[in-house]
Structure 1
Amino acid sequence: MKNLNRIHLSGLRAVEAVGRLGSLKAAAEEMGVTVGAVSQQVQKVEAQLGQPLFERRARGLHPLASAQPVLTQLSVGMSALSTAVEMTERRRPDALTVSVAPVFAGKWLVWHLKQFARAHPGIRVRVEASVALTNPLLSDVDLCIRVGRGPYPGLKAERLLGQRIFPVCSPALAASFSRPEDVFDLPVILDPGQMFTWDDWLAATGRSGQTLVNGPTFSDGALCLDAAVAGQGVFLAWETLAYYALASGQLVRPFPEMIETGISYWLVRGPHQPYEGPVKAFSEWIKQELPRSLELPEN
C-alpha cells in the first residue's frame, strides 16, 4: 500500500464523492467543504496520478470511461472505511445500536427517543431502520425490536407488547356518517404486506358479513396511515403506527374495539449479550415506555 503515500486520502475521497454523486456541489455538501475545495482536491489527485479522471463540461465534471474502474474501486474502498469507522463507534461503551423496522422507527421511536436521552444523556443511540430481520449473532447490532409471533430460537427474546388493530379515519371523514357502520360505505385503504387482514377484525367484532369497498393500495403502512390522515379512506391500523395521529387529532377511531392479533413486539438480543450498561438501560426504558405511551384516547 506504499503507493497511497503519494496521494492524500481527502483527495481520493473527493474524487470518489464526485464520481458517485455526479456533481461538485453534491460532493461538497457530503464532505462539508466548499465546491472550490473539492475541485482543487480533484485536480490535485489527477496531477498526482498523471492522468485526467473527469471531462470538464459546462454543467460540471463527467467521469471519463477510462476512470470508471478506478471510481468503482474507490467507492468499494470508501465504503469499507466507513464501515470500519461505524464498527468502532458501535463498540464504544456509551454507544448502542438498535435495529427496528422503518415504520416503527418513524411512527413511534423517533417521537420517544428524547425521553430516553433525557434519562440517559451519556448513551448514544444509533438506529438501524431496515425491513430485514437483522440477526444480532451476525452483526454489530446490540438490540432488535421485532414484530412477530415468536419465539426466536437461539436468541434472548422478551415480549414487550401484544399488537392490537382497529380502523381509523380522518375526523372530516368521520363527520360524514352518522353511525359507525356507515364506515363500510367508504373506501378501505389496503396494505398487502400486513401480517393481518380486515377479515381478522371483522370476525373478532361480529361483522363478518360486512362488505368492504376497496380503496387505494400502498406497499407501506406509514403511507397507508398518511392516506387515512389525508381523508382517502379507512385504514386498519395498529397502536404504534397510529398513536401520534390519534393523540394529535389527525385520526379518530369510528369503532371502540381494539382486537388482539396474536402478533407481538419483541426485544431481541444475542444469547451472550451482557445485560448491562446501555443494553440494560434501553431495555428497561422501552419495556416501560412502549405500553405507557399507547394509552389511546377514547372516541
Structure 2
Amino acid sequence: MENLNAIPLSALRAIEAIARNGTLGLAADELGVTAGALSQRLAKAEAAFGQSLFVRTAAGLKPTPIFADVVPRLTHAISELSSIVADIRLPKENTLTVSVAPIFASRWLIWRINKFNQQNPNLSVRIVPSLEVINLDLSEVDVGIRVSQDAAIGRNAVKLLDQRVFPVCAPDLARTIHTPHDLLKLPVIRENEKLYGWKSWMSDQGIEGYSLPDGPTYADASLCLDAAMTGQGVFMAWETLACDALERGQVSAPFNLRARTGATYWFATSQRSRRKQNVNRFKDWLEAELACSISLWNSTSH
C-alpha cells in the first residue's frame, strides 16, 4: 500500500468526481470547492501520476484511455470509503435526510409528512427538494424518492407506483367538456412544447393525428396546475401532482381515464442507509400512505 503515500485522498476524490461528472464545474459543486481550486488539485494529481489523466474537449474533460479503465474501480473504492466513514461515526439515528423531486414534495408529501412526524417525535426528518439524481453512496442523503422511465435507479431501489396522467381544468370549464375531442377546442396549458403525457392519454382514447391548441406556458408543472385552477385552460397532470387539488374541488377531471406514461416512482437507498431502522420505518409509512392514495385514485378512475 506504499503507493497510497504518494497520492493524497483529496486528489483521488478530485479526479474521480471530474471523471464521473465530465466538467470541473459540476465536480467542484459536488465537492464543495471552487473550480479553480479543483483545477489545482487536478494538476497536482496529474503531476503525482506523471501523466495527463484527461483530454480537454469542447464538451468538458474526458478521461484518457488508461484512466478510463480504472474509473469504475476508483468510484467503487471511494464509495466504500464513504460508507466506512459513515459506519465508524456515531450513527445519527435521530435524523433522516430525504431527497425528493420538488413537485412530489410540495404537492403530495408535505401534506402527509406530519403524520410520520407525529408517529416518530424523536426523529428529525430533513426534506431536500432537488431535481438532481444524487449519488446516495457518495452523500449524506439517506433516501431518494425518484421518478424515472428507466429500470430501478440504484442498486437498492424499490418500486413505489406507476405514474398516470389525466387532463384537469377548472370546474366551470369541465362542465363544457363532453368528449375527448372537446379538449382540442380549449387552450392547452404546458410546461414546454414536449406536452408531457398528452400522447399517452390521447392514444388510450384512440385519438390520433390531432393538433393541440396553443395555451399559456409555465416552466413548472406546479404552476401549470395553478393555472388550470384559475380557468386558463386544460393541463395534463399526474396523480401525485393533482389528486389532492381534485379532492378539494380546486380542479375537475372531465374524464375518469388515466393513462400510464411509462415512468415509475422509486424508493432508493444507499448500502449504508438501507440498514438504518428509521429508513425502513419511513419506507413502511410511505408505502402505506401511497396505498391509501392509490386506493382512492383507483376508485375514481379506470
User: Matched residues in 2 for 1:108 and 1:188: separation?
Assistant: 24
Task: Identify the residue that residue 252 of structure 1 maps to in structure 2.
Answer: 252
Q: Which runs of 5+ in 1 are unaligned?
A: 1-86
8 A Cα contact 1:154 1:271, kept in partner: no
1:229 positional shift:
0.6
User: Matched residues in 1 for 2:291 and 2:224: separation?
Assistant: 23
User: Matched residues in 2 for 1:96 and 1:194: separation?
Assistant: 36
Task: Identify the residue that residue 70 of structure 1 maps to in structure 2.
Answer: none
Task: Identify the residue that residue 113 of structure 2 maps to in structure 1.
Answer: 113
User: Matched residues in 2 for 1:235 and 1:93: separation?
Assistant: 42
2:268 maps to a residue whose letter is: V
Please identify the structure whose Cα radius of gyration is greater: 1
Please tell me the root mean square deviation across aligned C-alpha atoms, in Å: 2.3
Task: Identify the residue that residue 287 of structure 2 maps to in structure 1.
Answer: 287
1:153 positional shift:
6.1
Q: Give deviations 1:1-49, integer Å, cap 9, x for gaps.
A: xxxxxxxxxxxxxxxxxxxxxxxxxxxxxxxxxxxxxxxxxxxxxxxxx
8 A Cα contact 1:161 1:291, kept in partner: no
SS in 2 for 1:243: helix
User: Matched residues in 2 for 1:269 and 1:96: separation?
Assistant: 12
1:274 positional shift:
3.6
Q: Which runs of 5+ in 2 are unaligned?
A: 1-85
User: Matched residues in 2 for 1:132 and 1:240: separation?
Assistant: 19
8 A Cα contact 2:152 2:266, kept in partner: no
8 A Cα contact 2:152 2:159, kept in partner: no
User: Matched residues in 1 for 2:183 and 2:195: separation?
Assistant: 23
SS in 2 for 1:188: coil
Task: Identify the residue that residue 185 of structure 2 maps to in structure 1.
Answer: 185
Task: Identify the residue that residue 100 of structure 1 maps to in structure 2.
Answer: 100
1:192 maps to a residue whose letter is: N
Task: Identify the residue that residue 298 of structure 1 maps to in structure 2.
Answer: 300
1:195 positional shift:
8.8
8 A Cα contact 1:193 1:219, kept in partner: no
Give the structure with the higher percent strand: 1
Q: TM-score, normalised by structure 1?
A: 0.65
- CA change 1:143–1:195 in 2 (3 A) is farther
Task: Identify the residue that residue 270 of structure 2 maps to in structure 1.
Answer: 270
1:154 positional shift:
4.9
SS in 2 for 1:217: coil
Task: Identify the residue that residue 234 of structure 2 maps to in structure 1.
Answer: 234
1:185 maps to a residue whose letter is: K
Task: Identify the residue that residue 59 of structure 1 maps to in structure 2.
Answer: none
Task: Identify the residue that residue 176 of structure 1 maps to in structure 2.
Answer: 176
